[in-house]
Chain A
Amino acid sequence: MRWITVLRLRLRSLLRARQVEQELDEELLHHVQRQIEAHLAAGMSPEEARRTALLEFGGIEQHKEECRDARGLVFVDGVRQDFGYALRTLSKSPGFTTVAVLSLGLGIGANTAIFTFVNAALLEPLPYPQAERIVVLQQRAPESGTTTLVHPVSFVEWRERARSFEALAIGQALPVNTDGAEGAEMVSGFWSTAGLFRVFGVDPTLGRAFAEEESRPGAAQVVVVLSDGYWRRRFGADPRVMGRPIRMGGHQATVVGVMPPRFRVGTLDIDVYYPLPLDRSKPEAVGSRSFQCYGRLRPGVGLDAARAEMTLIADQIGQEIQGEKGWRVHVSDLRDALVRDNRRALLLLLGVVAFVLLIACANLAGLLLTRSVGRRNELALRASLGASRFRLVQQLVVESLVLAGMGGALGLFLGATASRGLVFLAKDAVEFGQMADVRLDVSVLAFTVALSVLTAILFGLVPAWQVSVFNLQAVLAERGRGGSDSRGQHRLRAAIMTSEIALAVVLLAGSGLLLRTFANLLQVKLGFEPEQVLTMSLFLTDDAPRRANLVETILERVETLPGVRAVGTIQFLPLSGWTNNGPFHFVGRPKPTDPTRMASDVSTVSRGYFEAMGIELVRGRAFDLRDRMQSPRVAVVNQAFVERYSTHQDPLGQVILGDWANPRPTEIVGIVGDIRHNGMTTEPRPTVFLAQAQVPGYITHVVVRTSSDLQGMAAAVRREIQQVDPGQALTGVQPMRQYVSAALARPRLYATLLGAFAALALVLSAVGLYGLMAYTVSRRTHEIGIRMALGARGADVLRSILAQGARLAVTGVAAGTLCAMALSRLLTALLYGVSPSDPLTYVGATVVLGGVALAAAFVPARRASRVDPILALRYE
């Protein structure tokens, strides 16, 4: 019980300091008054009584101070004093303070910015109830092992057989044409089976989700569920929209529900959800291996159990259904599926900024050390006047805390600004749903505060430790003599400097590798000409002949626009991240025993496409007006196809039959050059191009090569399409250049970030080295003066100081190169066309850092070489 009283009193002294002071005054005053009264009673005159009482009492202030001491406020008061003192001393050396706060602020700011992302991507819970039970299912191709989306045929089997899941759903994001506020509008739609909302565990806020029977073909009415955003944007959040028919992709659909705000399907921001009419007896009618599949695990079923079950089921299905042979199922946690390779990249960046912070800390430790050695006299004096060692260390620690606090505040500000910039910089490079939610929250704040305190301890302890071991007598004895440093201090500073240089080398080498990667990517031969090419996306809804006609009409009209050099269409644009793939065989040649051994990417393109995209026609012909719905099927293949499947026979004239939409024997009539369709770093894959006029798809992209301004052209094309069909919406109008630049976004981001961090590291270590050398020179001025008086020339002095700097630089660079070599393996996945141990990069990093280090050492060295011996000998 006593400790409660004690604690209460301490807190009172601390928090209600003014009241406690007042009471103390009153108490002491009371005493004096009683004393006066006593003297009066003893017969003194009032004047005399008062004087005697005050004399007896002595120094009131001193007594009060002693009472305060007794109340145990010494420590708190001391800390308060130290804060004031720290602020005063720091403001007296603005140069040091600026460098210190800036380097800390930059280090902490970089960490805060990156942590904001890590927090949003990896740490914050996904916005679904029991999100850890949500999984993503994908399929793995038999031969290549590439991961693909899910086939509806597989899905209906899984849904019937798998016991691991509470709910299972497939869906596909498809744009829908609908009536907007001004004419036709294209919105993002998600076409899914009824289980979708149960998988994510989210119910509509208004109305209901669609029922199982509504996602079967021939359902009584077409129903849709709207997103909150679309409901507000299009219908002004009017609840009366419920039950009302709206036009959706050529049908009338009834609105039955509205989802809660910010509901997303994984990363997808969807406007309208509508049922996928999946027929159990004919699932392939809705499409092929192009559906996203999500499942919710039953309570108590782990990921491994689900994986084991799905492996078994995949084996069974493979034996029963022809096209499913050899396909595996890949079950992954939703977060893993969303974060994918971002995790690695984010953790890597976090590691990199940790390096930057370490450099900033080392820098600061060096600076503080230098300063504290310079302040030894002051500290020694205080110690000899009775300050305890603890008290001195306390003062130094408070000083570093003040620095860290200022650095942390600056860092928080810089980090918040930078993370907003990063969202912008990374918008093409990183795609995860929570990206929009990247913000400063409690955990980011806690992270920054923890980081500031940690750094204060890290760099503050070094000089504090120095003070705690110094020898009072020795310091006072050398007072005013400017004696040289002890060996230990010298070594400590050299070690700090060396590690700083080593850390900078690591960052420099890493950024060098990524910059070379980026440069290599810029050199990649795309195989097409993205300049002056405009692309836009159409979603066609009618039956096949009408789809073919519509595209043909659009081509005819756009062709005649002034400034158009070529126009064509393709199902999925190069570098857009989409592709189709399927097995095929040559008609007339023995079928491969394993149908999965021969597979090719498939793309549907119109006449004029290769010309519009600038793809080289190697042999034969491209598609033209001869290729119609009724004419014999023709195909164009790429060189990779020829090299892989037709090395012995002329491919032209051969007939292939593929397992793709509406298959018929198709004659190869042309060969085109390879392009980078699946990514800048992915080697071109064998590809078969089919004619849009013969097998028209639903999704198509118009590609226009123009000699005039892209924006004006976009408006002109839009007008033409509106005239052909006013209900046809047009979306994703983008220059082809944009896809190329988006494909480069991630390497560019890495190269930019790491480059910026490496530059930061370089500046920090240059400042650190300069500070250290300048300090050394100033400490050695006396000694240099003696040497010069004894006949040393300026050049000798210059050489000797430079040699000292060079020794540090060489050791640091050597250590850094070794570390960088070891760590660069972590970068392998991000590199292209450059080996992690690329000699050029390491030589470059060494030369740059060596140069910077020598330059930093040169300035003080030159100053030393110009020392006037007379002045130096007088120098204290």
Chain B
Amino acid sequence: MSKPNDLVQGTLDLLILRVLALESMHGWAIAQRIRQMSNEELRVGQGSLYPALHKLEHNGWIDAKWGESENNRRAKYYSLTRAGRKALQAETLQWERLSAAIALVIKPT
């Protein structure tokens, strides 16, 4: 299991923003979705998920609303704001550059 601490700094934010770009969802669903989308490679622990969500909310990138979950429970739903969308683009670009750079370095020549 890949611990969140092992993720490169800032990648968790990127993953959350990316997942929320699809639809608004609550914390548990976000964690599930990241796991599914990464083919079970990335498991986000709640210990880093929620602080990250709160930080993103306070950055104004995501918005939180209380709503009904699939099985009729009250849950906090997060959705991307306009600023969040812009941030997602910027972060994605940044990430692509970074991973390309890393790939260049570690690729056996």
Contacts and interface: CB of A to CB of B under 8 A. Distances in A.
B77 to A, nearest CB: 10
Nearest to A68: B54
A6 B54 contact: no
Contact of B51 (A10, A56, A70): A70
A10 B58 CA distance: 8
A66 B50 contact: yes
A22 to B, nearest CB: 11
Contacts of A647: none
B27 A30 contact: yes
A23 to B, nearest CB: 7
Contacts of A62: 47
A37 B29 CA distance: 13
Contacts of B47: 57-59, 62-63, 66
Nearest to B75: A30
Interface centre among A23, A30, A37 (most CB of B within 10 A): A30
A67 B76 contact: no
A26 B31 CA distance: 17
A6 B58 contact: yes
A9 B76 contact: no
Contacts of A24: 50
A66 B48 CA distance: 8
B107 interface: no
Contact of A28 (B46, B58, B66, B81): B46
B45 A71 contact: no
A31 B58 contact: no
B91 interface: no
Interface string A23-41: 1101110110111010000
B83 interface: yes
A72 B46 CA distance: 19
A485 interface: no
Given A9-B57, A35-B28, A58 B45 contact: yes
- Residue from the set B50, B63, B73, B74 with the largest chain A CB neighbour count within 10 Å: B50
B69 interface: yes
Contacts of B69: 30, 34
A69 interface: yes
Contact of B60 (A6, A23, A59, A72): A6
By secondary structure, the A interface counts as helix
Contacts of B59: 6
A832 to B, nearest CB: 70
A649 interface: no
Interface string A1-26: 01101100110000000000001101
Contacts of A10: 58
Contacts of A3: 60
B52 interface: yes
B60 A67 contact: no
Interface string B27-47: 110010000000000000111
B70 to A, nearest CB: 10
A66 B71 CA distance: 28
Chain B interface residue count: which class?
20 to 34
A63 B51 contact: yes
A242 to B, nearest CB: 70
B26 interface: yes
A57 B46 CA distance: 6
B74 A26 contact: yes
Given A66-B51, A70-B55, A31 B60 contact: no
A9 B60 CA distance: 9
A62 B51 CA distance: 11
B50 A28 contact: yes
Interface string A48-92: 000000001111001100110111100000000000000000000
Nearest to B27: A31
B83 A2 contact: yes
Contact of A67 (B54, B74, B81): B54
Interface SS, B side: helix
Interface residues of A, number: 29
Contacts of B83: 2
Contacts of B63: 5
B84 to A, nearest CB: 10
Given A28-B50, A63-B51, A66-B50, A34 B58 contact: no
A56 B46 CA distance: 9
B109 to A, nearest CB: 42
Given A28-B46, A31-B46, A71 B58 contact: yes
Nearest to B69: A30
A71 B73 contact: no
Contact of A33 (B31, B55, B73): B73
A333 B51 CA distance: 67
A680 B59 CA distance: 75
A27 B52 contact: no
Contacts of B58: 6, 9-10, 70-72
Contacts of B52: 70
Contacts of B51: 63, 66-67, 69-70
B30 to A, nearest CB: 10
Contacts of A37: 71
A679 B54 CA distance: 78
Contacts of A70: 51-52, 54-55, 58
A9 B56 CA distance: 12
A31 B83 CA distance: 27
A24 B73 CA distance: 15
B68 to A, nearest CB: 12
Which of the listed residues A31, A35, A37, A58 has the most CB atoms from chain B within 10 Å of its own CB?
A: A31
A545 B71 CA distance: 114
A33 to B, nearest CB: 7
Nearest to A72: B58
A71 B58 CA distance: 6
Nearest to B31: A31
A31 to B, nearest CB: 5
Contact of B28 (A6, A9, A30): A30
Contacts of B60: 2-3, 5-6, 9
Nearest to A13: B58
A31 B25 CA distance: 12
A33 B50 CA distance: 15
Contacts of B26: 27, 30
B73 A30 contact: yes
A73 B38 CA distance: 33
B75 to A, nearest CB: 5
A33 B27 CA distance: 12
B50 to A, nearest CB: 5
Contacts of B45: 56, 58
Given A63-B50, A66-B47, A27 B57 contact: no
Contacts of A33: 73
A636 B83 CA distance: 99
A30 to B, nearest CB: 5
Contacts of B76: 23, 26-27, 30
Contacts of B74: 26, 30
Contact of B46 (A5, A9, A63): A63
B10 to A, nearest CB: 14
Contacts of A72: 58
A23 B31 CA distance: 19
A510 B52 CA distance: 66
A15 B8 CA distance: 35
Nearest to A33: B73
B6 to A, nearest CB: 16
Candidate in B54, B73, B83 with the most chain A CB atoms within 10 angstroms: B54
Nearest to A65: B51
B36 to A, nearest CB: 12
Given A5-B63, A26-B76, 18 more contacts: A2-B81, A5-B81, A9-B58, A9-B60, A10-B58, A27-B76, A30-B69, A31-B27, A35-B28, A59-B47, A63-B50, A66-B50, A66-B51, A67-B50, A70-B52, A71-B54, A71-B58, A72-B58
8 contacts: A2-B81, A23-B76, A28-B50, A30-B26, A30-B28, A34-B28, A63-B51, A72-B58
The 3 closest A-B pairs by CB, nearest first: A70-B55, A2-B60, A70-B54
